Chain A
C-alpha cells in the first residue's frame, strides 16, 4: 500500500526516519540473541578475557559437550517435555470442551456457567490457599502438582467460546441437526475441524507457558528428579550452583571454572530452541487468534 518510489518528498523523509528507528530497535533485539549464540560456541578463555563482542572467538563446542554430559540437564529436559505435552493436551481439551458448550445458546443454565467461569478471572485465592489445597490433595512432590492446578484457564476458555460463536455459523448446527447429528457428534465432526486456528494458538500459548514456568514447580516440588528444566536452569544460571568437580577431574578444575560462563550460554540456547521452533507453525494463525482474544466477551 505504501510505496517509497511514489511518495512525496516529505513522506520520503518520514519513511526514512521510521525505517531507521525500526532498524535500530530490530538490532537491539537481535544483538543479545546473537551474542548468546556466539558466546555459547566461544572458548571459555576468550569469554573471561572479554574478547567476544559479536562473533564467536576461539570456536569450540566444549560448552555444549559439558551441558550434554550432565545427566541432571537431560533428566529435567525429559520432565519438561512431559509436563509440557501432557499439560498442553489437558488444557486444550478442557478449553475446547468448555468453550464449545458455553458457545451454545440453547443450553439451560448457560448464563450461570459463563458467570462462574468469568469470576476467577478477577479474583483468586492466592499463593497460600492454593498451596494448602495442593498439599491437602496430597499432590506435593508428584507430577500432578505441576500438571493439574494450572490446567484450566478461564480466559482462554472464553476466547475459544467467542471464536466458536463468531466463526461457525448457526446454520451449520441446524444442518447437522437435521442430518441427525448429536451434540457430541457435531462437536467432534464439525466444531473441532473448523477451530484449527484457535486450537493452534492455544497450543502455542499453553505450550510456551508450560515450558517456561518455574514458579509453580518451585512451590510444589522439592524432589530433584521431578524438576523441570526451568528449575535446573535457575540453579545453574541464577543461583550459580554448577557442580564443577562433577564435570571435570580435580586438576582441571581451574579450566572448568573457565567453562562455566560458556556453559550458561549453551544452556540458554538448548532450553530456548524447542519453543522457538513452534512459532513458524502457528504464525499464520496468530493475528486471528490474538484478535479474537481482544474482542470483549
Chain B
C-alpha cells in the first residue's frame, strides 16, 4: 500500500514536482492572493521609516529613520491615547473568565432542553454587526426613546439622565456591550472541550461522594485548562489591538477624552479628513502597535510553556 509513496520519495525532485502538478495548480490562486494582499503590504511598512508625500511611489520617498516614531511618542496626545488603549484592553481582558464560568455553569446545569435554549439564545448576539451593535446601544440607552429611558421613566417617574453624554461611561459601555455580545459564542469552545470529559471520571467521583461543585472544580475545570491557556495567550497577544471599528463608531465629542485609542488615531492620521493626513506617521503608529503586540504574545507564550508546558508555538 505504501510502496508507491516510498518509490515516489526516491525519485528525483523535478520528477516529484511534475507528478504533483495538479496540486500546484490548486495552490496557485491562494498563493497569488497571499502574496498580493499579505506580503506586498508588508513591504509597505518601510513607509514608517520614510517621509511619504502624496503622489510619490514608496521607493521615491526619502528615508527619515525613526523620526516618525519619535514624532508619535513625543506628541502631546501620546500619553492620553496610550492610557485609553491600555485601560480599554485591560478592562476587556478582565472579563476573560466570564465565558469560562458561563460554560462551566451551563455544562453542569440539569435539564437538556432549557440548556439548549439558553445556549442558542445567548449565541445569537454573535451575528450582530459592530455597526448594528452600536446602533442598538445608542438607541437603547437613549434617555427618551430607549429601554433605558422607558424603564427609568416607569420606575422614577421622570426623564432619565443622558448617560451617553458622559465621557466616563464610554469604557463601561464598550466593555460590557462586548460581554453581552460575545459571552455565548465565546463559551462554545469551552463547551466543546467539556463535552470531551470522560463520563467514567464523573461516575467514579460520585461513588466517592463528590458533590457536583467538587466535580466542577476537580474534573471539569482541569479538562478545559489547556484550552483556557491557549485562549488566554491569544487574548494577551491581542491586548493592544483594540480594533478601530467599534471605538470609532462610539466616538462623539463628549467622550473623545476617553475614546481616542491608538487604532482610531492611526486611522485619523492616515485616512480621515478630520486631521491633516500623514501616511508615514500613520504607518509608524500601526507598526509600533503590532510590535508591542507581538512581544506580548511571545512573552505570554513563554510564560504558559513554563507554567504547564502548553503554548501555541
| A residues whose Cβ falls under 8 Å from a Cβ of B | 1-4, 7-8, 10-11, 14-15, 18-19, 21-23, 25-26, 28-33, 35-36, 39, 47-53, 93-95, 97-98, 100-102, 104, 106-109, 113, 116-117, 120, 122-133, 148-152, 154, 157, 171, 174, 177, 182-184, 187, 208, 211-215, 219, 230, 233-234, 237-238, 261, 264-265, 267-268, 271-272, 275-276, 278-279, 283, 286-288, 290-291, 293-294, 296
- Docked pose: A39 CA to B120 CA in angstroms: 23
Q: State whether B159 touches A50 (Cβ < 8 A).
A: yes
| B131 interface neighbour in A14, A36, A171, A230, Cβ under 8 Å | A230
Q: Is the CB of B29 within 8 A of A97?
A: yes
Whether B189 and A272, one on each chain, are in contact in the complex, defined by CB atoms closer than 8 angstroms, is no
The answer on a CB contact under 8 Å between B290 and A124 is yes
Contact A271 B132 (CB under 8 A): yes
Q: Which residues does chain A contribute within 8 Å of B123, judged by CB atoms?
A: 279
Give per-residue flags for B3-15: 1 if the beta carbon is below 8 A from chain A beta carbons, else 0: 0110011000100
Partner of B34, one of A109, A120, A265: A120
Given A48-B145, A230-B129, A287-B188, also A152-B37 (CB < 8 A): yes
Q: List 24 A-B contacts (CB under 8 A).
A: A22-B106, A28-B180, A50-B149, A101-B26, A122-B297, A123-B290, A126-B290, A127-B266, A128-B271, A129-B44, A130-B37, A130-B44, A148-B33, A148-B37, A152-B30, A183-B23, A184-B25, A212-B130, A233-B135, A234-B131, A237-B135, A271-B132, A279-B127, A294-B189
A29 touching B139, Cβ below 8 Å: no
- Contact indicator B131/A22 (Cβ below 8 Å): no
Determine whether the beta carbon of B34 is less than 8 Å from that of A291.
no
Contact A126 B145 (CB under 8 A): no
Q: Give CA–CA (A131, B271) in the complex, Å.
A: 9
Considering only CB atoms, which chain B residue lies closest to A279 in the complex?
Answer: B127
Known: A133-B37, A219-B271. A32 touches B312 (CB 8 A): no
- CB B66 to nearest CB in A, in angstroms, measures 17
User: Does the CB pair A238–B22 fall under 8 Å?
Assistant: no
User: Given A101-B27, A183-B23, do A264 and B150 touch, yes or no (CB 8 Å)?
Assistant: no
A19 to B111, CA, bound (A): 10
Is B267 close to A, CB under 8 A?
yes
How many Å lie between the Cα of A171 and that of B106 in the bound state? Answer: 39
Determine whether the beta carbon of B191 is less than 8 Å from that of A4.
Answer: no
Decide: A32 and B270 in contact? CB cutoff 8 A.
no
Which chain B residue shows the least CB distance to A232? B131
- Closest-by-CB residue of A relative to B248 is A215
Given A95-B30, A101-B30: 12 more A-B contacts, CB < 8 Å: A10-B211, A21-B105, A36-B140, A126-B44, A130-B37, A148-B33, A171-B1, A212-B128, A214-B129, A276-B127, A287-B192, A290-B192
Chain A CB within 8 A of B110 CB: yes
Beta-carbon contact of B150 and A50 below 8 Å:
yes
Q: Does B275 contact A (CB under 8 A)?
A: no
B77 within 8 A of A: no
CB of B302 within 8 Å of the partner chain? no
Bound CA–CA A126/B243 (angstroms):
12
List of A residues within 8 angstroms of B242 by Cβ: none
A97 to B104, CA, bound (A): 37
* Partner among A116, A120, A129 whose Cβ is within 8 Å of the Cβ of B45: A129
The residues of A that contact B33 with a CB separation of less than 8 Å are 94, 148, 151-152
A25: chain B residues at CB < 8 Å are 102, 118, 122, 183
